[in-house]
Each structure stands twice: as structure tokens, then as C-alpha cells.
Chains A and B, each alone.
Chain A
Amino acid sequence: MKCVLQHSVLFFLALTFGSAFSQTINVCENCEISSLKEAISTAKDFDTIVVKKGTYKEHNIIVDKPLTIIGENYPLIDGELKGEVITIVSDHVTVDGLFIINVGTSYTEDYAAIRVKKSNHFIIQNVVLEKLFFGIYLEKSSYGKIYHNKIIGDAVEEYNSGNGIQLWYSNHVVVEHNYVEHVRDGIYLEFSDDCLIKNNVSAENLRYGLHFMFSNDDIYQDNTFENNGAGVAVMFSKHIKMLHNTFKENWGTASYGMLLKEINDAEIRGNTFEENTIGINIEGSNRIIYKNNNFINNGWAIKVRGACYTNEFLENNFLYNSFDISYNSKVNDNVFNNNYWSNYTGYDLNKDGIGDIPYRPVKLFSYIVNRTPETIILLRSLFIDIIDFSEKVSPVFTPDNLMDNNPLIKKIIW
């Protein structure tokens, strides 16, 4: 916190001192200064460069001073597939309203449309990126903001495409209101702590809509992840908060609404998982609280693979999933309580809204499907219903303490 304060005080000082002397430099096709590079080299610290509408064929633009670059009516910066387009190597740079296309593709270097390199307090907003390799790439750059950008890639193969927004060793970054589609990973975080990812839409990406690893204390809020190759993968992180996100239509054999691996002490609240092959796939994740989530029409709402302890599933809605929960072991250390299960067939005689008999979310059939996946073809068969019923009466194969003791009678509405 102290660090943040210090930084912001410095920032305001710089801003006030700077703006007192700052100038505006206009760039247009017929002006005195007709290229962005020229403008940057003539500009002084804290100047504003206004780029008028037009096409600028430039690449390897290096912003090495604290400048504000503003595009008027989305001027087109064409990288001509020759390499990186804009590289920011100075603190306090703002890039606003540019339309960048044709970023070069390389198998040895990660060319990006906009790269921020070891610089803090940057703002990248209202930028449109198309025909790109990597979109916005933050490298050891903190305290920045990526706001209201649109990134539309044309990725076909995983090996020769890049990520939409990538954070690498970048802390305290806000990524908000961005729209990312058709790239490899929509939003990718690695070793980035204390970030806020909010109100983004990440869809139709080749691999993951959101992918993060080794990034602690981050908040993901109100995002939509739809129809991505493998959904969302979150791995090896602590103290994550995932709030009110939507995970939709991630279909396929290795596709998850959300894949949790080695996630500890997280909070997953108010999310919606709809029509995914697997809503949440959990592996080696402990002390997570799942609360007030909606699981609607998924193949498997939750698949628990192993080594998951002291997780709590409270007050969630499980609606019309082919399987509610699937376990691959007989051991259970997780708590299910006060959820609404659309498959619950119990009764409520004392009318307190809580079912009088406990609900067992793991069916025998889900155990069989785990063992022999081909048996999935017998789903909804009368025979399967009969053996599920007999297992429900006296559990043999499924964990016998895995049950919701207080299943709700009515769907929870928040």
C-alpha cells in the first residue's frame, strides 16, 4: 500500500510539473511531421502527440519518453508484418485510440502490437488491434491500466499464434472492458500479482479464454468466457477471487468451463457455468469456497479429480446437468451444504425450505463413466436409472459421506 501511495504521489507530481510545460504535436499524412517515430523523437517529456486520421506504415516504434499518444478517429498504424509495432520503454506513457494491424509473426521472438517493457504507470485504452501475433504484452511493467480495447485475431494454429493480452511479471495492473477473440489465449497472466481483471469478454479463442499461472491475489470479476477451445485454465495460484463471471459453451473432450489446478484459498462466487462439457474441473485445489454459483446444462457440473481437501460448496444452483458431481475416489473431505439440485427428489414436510432427506450428488453412473468412458452412451437409460436408485439407497461405490444434508427445495435467487 505504501508503495502504491509513493508511486501515485510521484505520478501526480510528474503530471502537474510536466503538464505545465507540455506541448501538443500533431501528426498527419500531409503535416510537417508525418510519422509517429518522427513525432516521438522531436517530442519532449510529457508532451501530447495527436495522430490524425490516416494510414501510417511504421513498425518498431519505440516510445522512450513519458508521452501521451492520442489517435483521432482511429488512425491506422500498419506494421506491414515486419515486426513489433509499438514498444513502450518509459514510465507514464498513454496510448489512446489507435488502430494497429499487421504485426509480424516470428518463431523466435514474441512480436506484439503494443509491448510495455519494464515501465510503470502506463495507460493503454481504446485501441483496436487486428491481424496480430501478440496483442498487448506487458513485461515486468506494473501499475498500469488496459482499458476498453478490442483485439480481433485470426489465429488458426496454436503454435504460430500469440495471446491477446499477456502479463508477465506485471503487478497491480487493471484490465477492464476489453474484448478479445480469435487469438491463442485471450488473457494470459504469469507471475502477475494483485491484478484486477474486470468486465472483459474473451471468446472463440484457440486455447484458453483466460489462462493464468503463478499469479496470486488477483481478482477476476464480471468477465465472459465463451466458446473457447479449452475454456479457462487457472493454475498454481493462491488467494484468487473469481466473482460474477460467465463461462459458456466450452465444448470438447479437453474443454472446461474452468480448470483449477493447484489453486489454494480461493473464492469463487456468483459465477455462471452454462452448457460446458465440464463446468469446473478441480485438481489439487484446497480451501476454496464456492458460493452462489449457477451450474446450468453442463455435461458435468463439477468434476473432482483428486487431492482436493476442505473445499466448501455452499448455496449453489445445480440445474439440469447431465452429471452434478463426479468423483474418482471414495474419499471425501469437501463440504456440500444448502445447494439447490434440480435432480433432487426428496420432500419437505415441515416446510422450512430445506429437504428432509439428504441429497447424494454423485451417481453410480458417473463412477462407471469415469471407469469406462464409452458407457456414456447409456445415459438416461431406464436400467441406469434403476442402478443409480439402488446405489442411492445404499452407497457402495460412491463416497458415502458425500451428501448435501440440507438441500434446498427452491432455486436460489440472488
Chain B
Amino acid sequence: MLKILKYSFFDLMRSRWSYVYFAFYLLLGIVLLFLNNDLSKAVITLMNVIIVLVPLIGTIFGVMYYYNSKEFTELLLAQPLRRSSIFLGQYLGVALSLSMSLILGLGLPFVFYGLFKSNAIWDFSLLLITGTFLTLIFTALAFNIALSNENKIKGFGYAILLWLFLAIIYDGIFLMTLILFEDYPLDKLSLVGTMLNPIDLSRTLILLKLDISALLGYTGAVFKQFFGTSFGIIVSLITLVVWVILPVLRILSKSKRKDF
């Protein structure tokens, strides 16, 4: 598995897209710092961007990589190698190279700007952690889609639809549900609804840092326990880990049974 991971990783490192991705984040970081002149404000803007963009790039890139390297995968399958190690290796190769572009691309300008001397370092590391988690989750989801669809166009379509659903449509449905059932106690439902969507989950993690004063304005014991203590951060992080593990498990079981 490690050999395949290494191969995929270096293959991607040499590819143009990783550089584009890296350069994009580098530019974003520099421009934000240049315009805001303030580390913590730049971190806030970045959070909004990351929550939307990282999942999009993760899904598209994952699907693209799978379809592009399909012939190579078929070649590998002819060798005496375990299927799980082939697919896991490829998945980790993509996810890790994307995460690295993200961390380096955003990290470099911020470090040069004096991150280590400012108190925004915790917010910033939380941002990078959420970004990495989102990459891991959405690349895994993309591999799932690609494995289930032989047709490239269909696969891409589903990938974009998945992103659109989780980033925008889900929140719309969520909001409508909350408004429709406003006569009932909703705090548990709203927390569960957040847990079911990794993008919402990451947003909540960031809200806990940014808008804690507004969040505490709502009366509700469950909310208060969730947002007022470190309980919220711990639960969110654990759920993010679960969100990584579940799609990866599906990749493994799906790839085992698939005919090539």
C-alpha cells in the first residue's frame, strides 16, 4: 500500500494541477493579508472561502484522478496485490497531496506575516485542521462516486451535484425544516442536522471560535452545553473523524466486489 501511496503522491506532485492548486492558495493567502493588514481578520475571510472551496476541489480532483489513472489501476489489478491496498494507496495519495498544497499554500504567507507571534495561531491551526478533514472526506466521497459509475460524465455530474447538495441545498432544506417545525423544541434536531453534513460541521467548528457571542444568545440547555463548553469542539472533531472513516470503509468494500 505504501508503495502505491508513494507512487500516486509523487505522480500528483509532478502534475500541473497540484501546482495550480498550491499557487491558488498561496495567492489567496497573500492577497488576503495584503488587503486586510490584519491576521485575525484574514483568518475569518479564509474560513468562509475554505468551507466552500476545499470540498469542491476535493470532489472534482478525486473523481478526475480516479478516471485518469484507470488504466494504470487495471494494470495494477493484474499483479498479485491486494485490492484494498491499491485503492487505499491511491486515495491517500490524492488526499494527502491536496492537503499538503492547502497547508503549504496557506501556511507560507501566514508564517512569513508573523503568525507565530500573533494570537491568531489557534484559529489558523483550527482552519488548517478543518481544511484537511474536508479534503479527506470529500476525496473519499469522490472515490466512492467514481467507483460506482463507469461513465465519466455521469461521475462528474454526481460529484458536482454532491458538492452542490452539501454546500448549499442541504442548508436550504435544513432551514425550511427548522422554520416548519418552529413550534417544537428544535435544539437537538438542529445539532444532529449539523452533524450529518461535514461542511456544516466544519462551519460550526469555526463558528465556535468566531461568533460565540451570538451563539450564546439562544436560550436552550443543549445549545448551551454544546457551545459553552469544550464539549462542542470535541464532539465535532470526533464526528469529522467518523465522516472520514465511513466513506473509506465503503471504498474498501466496494472495490473488493467490483468487476473490472
Contacts and interface: CB of A to CB of B under 8 A. Distances in A.
Nearest to B41: A320
Contact of B218 (A255, A323, A376, A378): A376
Q: Which of A368, A378, A384 has the most CB of B within 10 A?
A: A378
A221 interface: no
Interface stretch (B73-81, B97-105, B165-173): B165-173
Contacts of B48: 380
B225 interface: no
A87 to B, nearest CB: 42
Contacts of A251: 212-213, 216
Contacts of A254: 219
B172 A275 contact: no
B28 interface: no
Contacts of A322: 211, 213-214
Q: Which of B41, B191, B194, B207 has the most CB of A within 10 A?
A: B207
A233 B226 CA distance: 28
A372 B182 CA distance: 6
Interface stretch (A94-102, A199-207, A211-219, A296-304): A296-304
A380 B211 contact: yes
B220 A374 contact: yes
A277 interface: yes
A252 interface: yes
A378 B201 CA distance: 10
Given A373-B219, A374-B187, A377-B204, A382 B214 contact: no
A414 interface: no
Nearest to A372: B182
B111 interface: no
B217 A375 contact: no
A382 B167 CA distance: 7
B179 A383 contact: no
Nearest to A303: B217
The secondary structure that dominates the B interface is helix
A378 B174 contact: yes
Given A252-B216, A382-B168, A383-B171, 13 more contacts: A251-B212, A254-B219, A276-B213, A277-B213, A298-B214, A300-B217, A374-B189, A377-B190, A378-B171, A378-B178, A379-B215, A380-B207, A381-B203
A254 B216 CA distance: 9
B175 A378 contact: yes
Nearest to B180: A372
A51 B204 CA distance: 60
Give the 7 A-B residue pairs with the shortest CB-CB distance, closest first.
Answer: A299-B214, A383-B171, A322-B214, A299-B213, A374-B186, A372-B182, A253-B219
Interface in A273-332: 275-278, 297-300, 320, 322-323
A299 B175 contact: no
B207 A384 contact: no
A384 B203 contact: no
Contacts of B179: 368, 371-372, 375
Contacts of A372: 178-179, 182, 186
Interface string B188-207: 01110110000010011011
A3 B9 CA distance: 88
B200 A381 contact: yes
Interface in B16-43: 41
A393 interface: no
B9 to A, nearest CB: 31
A373 B217 CA distance: 9
Contacts of A382: 51-52, 167-168, 171
A253 B178 contact: no
A386 interface: yes
B44 interface: yes
Contacts of A299: 211, 213-217
A322 B211 CA distance: 6
B213 A297 contact: yes
B171 A320 contact: no
A340 to B, nearest CB: 15
A297 B206 CA distance: 15
Given A381-B171, A381-B200, A375 B214 contact: no
A249 to B, nearest CB: 8
Given A377-B190, A380-B203, A382-B167, A320 B216 contact: no
A253 B213 contact: no
Interface in B154-174: 167-169, 171-172, 174
Contacts of A376: 214-215, 217-218
Contact of A375 (B51, B175, B191): B175
Contacts of A380: 48, 203, 206-207, 210-211
Interface in A2-21: none
A372 B176 CA distance: 11
A377 to B, nearest CB: 5
A51 B53 CA distance: 72
Contacts of A381: 171, 200, 203
B199 to A, nearest CB: 8
Contact of B168 (A255, A278, A323, A383): A383
A368 B213 contact: no
A257 B211 CA distance: 16
Contacts of A377: 190-191, 193-194, 200, 204, 207, 215
Q: Which of A320, A322, A374, A376 has the most CB of B within 10 A?
A: A374
B51 to A, nearest CB: 8
Contact of B217 (A278, A297, A368): A278
Nearest to A375: B178
A277 B214 contact: yes
